[in-house]
A and B are shown apart, each in its own frame.
Chain A
């Protein structure tokens, strides 16, 4: 077997000489497309132009629905002046040397709404480099000055009438010098960036059922593994009896692993039947003892104790002494499961060179290292095929690498005899931990006689996400996990006296970031309390906020835009007899993107309610793909509404009480409001949109309900009656 074939069998084509051209890429089934490629121009790790006129853009970020493949391709294709139709996207391999997230240092991964922000310059340069080499090739072939060559929509041309496609010139261009500092476009010349409707690159495969998710991977000899996990967090396996499980037709092996007992079988159904037939005994001595009521009681007691100071300006104690009026509220936010549509899964196989992984891969560097540690091999011996993820919302970026590690332990326990597809059932996924932490907040606001803000005191109680992970050094300072208080510690509203403090109880319930992280709760507490303050001051909620946002023009910008588009100053149409209607607003900045939302709500006589319409204004800097931005705002609003209206994970003696969509209800189509999204024009560098649509919706709806009924909601999900 020659070297190239050997490497491609392992699915990873390292940058290397192939027909004299530099080719970067990977694929995982059938014949290597890259190996069969005609001569190519590949001046950097991000683009490959072949003589068949295809432009392949190599995406270092996971496509989990947020439109990253389309966005990354747009940036590069813009500077390349490619025709959008000739552009294809391919997943990058795990290689942090070339594909690290520039906002995360030496780490490769996707998250924190950073894909566009960190790729902006990198991919513009990559595209401009390839363009310059194509131009140089044309200049040489046509014997004309490079400056006289025009490039548009995948074609090079010269006033003399000469024309060539990218494909025609790819081979010659590959011999040109790679320019160090290629000239980037003036944004006013952008043709693809900012275009209202550029079709998504993943659309067709996803509407024909052809898109490949981890769940769809099938390798020769592969077995499916379903695992019995402990019934309570912190419990451990004591003993098991697999006699009956092994009698299930199709079951091949049963092995104990650190996280439970794995049943390997031909296909999911046999593996699940085998798993369900296991007789298991658990050692529960170290199990989490509390249920949600006990936890809440414990957290409530902490609300009365000073915590670690997250931010402090002025003197809040003095401010409250001088207050004409004090508002005070305690808030409850439950644990939340990500419950992505594709339950967690991972495919892995081992051979003499190392380990190969197929996964909706969100954090390559961490997963590589963690998987390598199981096998005692080097991280670079773990190759990862990044597939589409059927959602994630943060769950697949786990510093603990829980499910990839579990898959690795199964492969190891079976000595690499079979490729393994680990499949979590929906119930396993719902009960497997790594939730948005349960939080309690106490917010106290001091107002003067005119309703002006004198002081703001906020106390947060909830587990730290970063503590105990490799991210601790960068995210936790003086006992304060920045992700627990973001949005409160940097309160945008002008107040002379501010204090935010934090308790981070340690507990054996695994927690993780969940789409928009700290802003999922701080945004709610801040934006509903500021609304109460406006009400107490007898002021309009938009005007009251604007008066406090002098130093935050981008908050003010989206707030003004949303008010205008929502018709904030016109009266809301009345409902049917007995119905109450209300309109509410909220504005939250997260991950450098500013979003304001206005919700219109109808509350029926029986206490049920409907969100009728949501108007959203977003400022994410330069809008790369306006339609993807709109989609992310729509989706973020729906995701936030799920949590506001329906979802909660609760515990009983350290065991999760929910299991599937009947007891963890999520938003369905009937609850989805009409949504209008307006994008604020901006020339600031682009920031992300995957998360920032989420935080404002719950407070906007709560404020609308308060406007309709006078009732303030302090616990999520909402209960009106």
Chain B
């Protein structure tokens, strides 16, 4: 039995040590917001925060998580996360949506570190997150919008 801290809760799981965190989250614990896209750390669909750092859960064996704190799309909170989600909604970034959990988690981590990123910062931080619907144009704009929200220039409330 492994003990995992996910979204502030402790979960006990019975999984082989080599099982990627992604599949423990999705198949064992029901956190299906985190997506499978490539399984090889190439697309970012599976991005979660591990101690605040964006991490590809498809390539992280569950045994390596240890006491690390895992945050998934279902659990992100705090000012950057709220700002990112509000900006995503305001600009209607999503298309199919399948990559967007990963995009949002990655953008949240970026803004937590750099509240005022440049386009170059954004391109660098988000280059590991593929969007086949190519919503990149709006992702860039929404990260700038989120930055403005964090600076108090707009509301971070989600519409119903």
Interface residues of A (CB under 8 A from B): 63-67, 85, 197, 199-200, 202-213, 215-216, 218, 224, 249, 266-269, 339-343, 388-393, 423, 425-426, 627, 631, 634-639, 641-642, 660-662, 666-670, 672-675
Contact = CB atoms under 8 A, between A and B. Distances in A.
A342 B133 contact: no
6 contacts: A202-B97, A207-B93, A207-B94, A269-B19, A391-B98, A631-B135
A667 B73 contact: no
Contacts of A392: 96
Contacts of B96: 63-65, 340-342, 388-392
B92 interface: yes
Given A199-B89, A208-B74, A670-B127, 14 more contacts: A65-B95, A200-B92, A200-B94, A204-B159, A209-B101, A340-B98, A341-B96, A635-B133, A638-B137, A639-B134, A660-B42, A672-B137, A673-B137, A675-B137
Contact of B129 (A425, A426, A669): A669
A668 B124 CA distance: 10
Contacts of B37: 341-343, 426
Contact of B100 (A207, A269, A339): A207
Contacts of B59: none
B98 A390 contact: yes
A634 B36 CA distance: 25
B130 A666 contact: yes
B86 to A, nearest CB: 9
The 10 closest A-B pairs by CB, nearest first: A209-B33, A638-B134, A390-B98, A65-B96, A206-B97, A65-B95, A209-B73, A672-B136, A267-B27, A216-B32
A341 B134 contact: no
Given A85-B160, A207-B88, A638-B136, A661 B38 contact: yes
A249 to B, nearest CB: 6
Given A391-B133, A662-B42, A202 B94 contact: yes
Nearest to A339: B132
A215 B96 CA distance: 13
Chain B interface, DSSP helix/strand/loop, else mixed: loop
Nearest to A637: B134
B138 A634 contact: yes
Contacts of A209: 31-34, 72-74, 101
Contacts of B139: 669
Interface of B: 15-16, 19-20, 23, 26-28, 30-40, 42-43, 45, 72-74, 85, 88-89, 92-101, 104, 122-124, 126-127, 129-140, 158-160
Contacts of A266: 27
B131 A341 contact: yes
A693 B141 CA distance: 20
B89 A203 contact: yes
B59 to A, nearest CB: 12
A202 B92 CA distance: 9
B132 A67 contact: no
A86 to B, nearest CB: 10
